[in-house]
Chains A and B, each alone.
Chain A
Amino acid sequence: MFITVKKSFSILSLLLIGQQSLANDYKQLFGNRYTRAEKTAAEVRPVIQKYAKAFGEDSDLMEAIIFPELIRYNALYDAIETGSLIGLYARFGYEYADFSIGLFQMKPTFALSIETEVMKHKQSRWVKLLGFDKISLADEPRSRLARVDRLENVEWQVKYLVAMLKCLKLKNSRLTLTAEDRVLFTASAYNCGWDKSATVIKSYISKKHYQPGYWEGEKYAFADVALYRYADKLKNQELRIRG
């Protein structure tokens, strides 16, 4: 396990974590997008908490690493664009269309990488409980469409997230990380590819590829946005407890 410092954050530790993100006040920078994402996060929180509790994961961390995607997520489904991409993916596979879909903006290649890795641990209880042992990995249209179905389903997106955390920990079991580095590392892995080496994942932490508006505007580090959210949420929790 690479997690060494787990919970019980005091306001002091939160302020320390906050230092890393003080350069950017993302709530201020992203404005309505951030506020909208907070509402979406509140809607999916019960599902995240349910799975986090059942599988021994940190729900705040889970929420933080998908939060930058919630900021970008467009609630209005573009049936023409997304429908075209789904059709191409189902017929030809990821070479033709490896698009982001669903609230957590997961890609078919991400899902397939998790499914493939999880199969190596299919005797594990968590794999069976998550239902990954029943998934078909056949490279044909029906399986690809089923994958898209899962990626459009919030509960399945959370399952993929839990599975990614498990796979990431198994792959980096000797890694020792501080609390804030754990958030940065996990968010970076989610963004650049959980199956990349720890060195590559770490190198992506500071890379500024993330754009809330996507096509134009300034770019930010995905992991930094996630860390900001993590600290922001814990700070609010702490204040609620104290208040």
Chain B
Amino acid sequence: MKPLNIIGAAMLLLVANTSNAQFLNKLKKKAEAAVTKAVTGGGLSAESSTEKPEDNASDGTPGNSTSPAAPAAQSTAAKYGTVLFTMEKGEYLVYGELSLAVKADGAHVKAVTRKDRQFYFYDNGQRQGPFTTPPVNLLDEGWKRDYEYQKTNADEYMSNGMSYLSAGNLVVDGKKYGPALVVNAMYHNTKIKKFYALVTRTENDKMGFYLVSNQGARKLPSIGMGLIVSADGESGGVIIPATQFNAKSEEDAYKFVVADDTYIVLANGKTNGPFKYVDGTRNSLDESGNYIQIGKSGPKEGVYVNGNLLIPFAEGSYGQGASFVNSNGTSAAWFERGNLQFTDGTFIRGKAVQPVLSKENGVSYINWITIEKGNVYHCKKEL
């Protein structure tokens, strides 16, 4: 160590000892009582009651303007919604750093609001309160988000398949599901008692691949690209590239073709495809077995359902949204940054909050909340 460094270190030692004492003194002070900031977000300091002009969006084909314009002939809220409740001047929806204290399903909209540092709870317009702290416990379970690393629902139940092998058999929940040499992939949802396993068996000295589920075993033409399971676990299958699916030789069965078409072989006996390759990162299966691909680049930007482009992205969509698809996969909605875009061309700009899918008598609806002039609406549109 150079002399200068030694002197520097000695000076630091002196300085550090002083600051350590200060630090210990600081530690002696009691930590400030927990603040409601965690729940109400950083907006507590902003108690302004003046509402800014709304972005008067119009329905119909997507436009480019995002600046406030003349009021539309019929507002989005009036066209699709009913007023649930009216917030008073200075009353706001409570939000956390990551989520709104609002929960909606097809039948209910629950919300927490604040006004003058007091909190209120609404259930479909019925107001309770005031409360001194946000009554977020009255919202549906699961409303709050966490900084914990979140897996997708399907990922949560993916497990080590080999642990389901017992004496050469696949055994799930104590029941045998036939012989297995390797369990290549395993989805096991213990809550709804469903599983999907991609299994390799030996048959006449050759490898055979099977999709095994509660619904039985289905032979596969190839091992494919792995399991794909809907978020609710009700639908599951295997993605198989077209070259492997249509293989006439063993060589083709293992051949990998870049950007190949794909088939989805479902556990329910159906096979969907071939689907053209879409450069997307979030391909998924919905509970009805529809294969959803979110194209994020080039000429294929949009929502593809079962290989069909149902929604080409409007300007301002980056593919970081959520899709909602009807049961037969013919109509969809795309939600991103408050915008809702529909297959029929309807575009609701910036006004949608927390969309959710519901079903009534087999018909799919998308529900969302919107706020106009302090009125909180529950909006609904058939998909």
Contacts and interface: CB of A to CB of B under 8 A. Distances in A.
B41 A98 contact: yes
A117 interface: no
A76 interface: yes
Interface stretch (B122-130, B272-280, B297-305, B330-338): B330-338
B320 A79 contact: yes
Interface string B208-236: 00000000000000000000000000000
Size band of the A side of the interface? 35 or more
A128 B302 CA distance: 37
Interface string A10-31: 1011001101100000000000
Contacts of A43: none
Given A90-B338, A100-B97, A209-B37, A79 B145 contact: no
A16 B98 contact: no
A83 B147 contact: no
Given A85-B100, A91-B55, A92-B51, A77 B320 contact: yes
Contacts of B68: 140-141
Contacts of B97: 99-100, 105, 107, 214
Contacts of B351: 87, 91
A192 to B, nearest CB: 10
Interface stretch (A57-65, A176-184, A232-240): A176-184
A142 interface: yes
Size band of the B side of the interface? 35 or more
Nearest to B31: A208
B46 to A, nearest CB: 5
A206 B66 contact: no
Contacts of A109: 42-43, 46
A80 B19 contact: no
A83 B337 contact: yes
Contact of B336 (A19, A83, A88, A214): A83
Interface of B: 1, 5, 8-9, 12-13, 15-16, 18-20, 23, 26-27, 29, 31-32, 34-35, 37-38, 41-43, 46, 48, 51-55, 66-68, 92-93, 95-100, 102, 144-152, 316, 320-322, 335-339, 350-356, 371
Given A20-B23, A90-B55, A207-B32, 7 more contacts: A81-B99, A88-B371, A99-B98, A141-B55, A178-B15, A206-B27, A207-B31
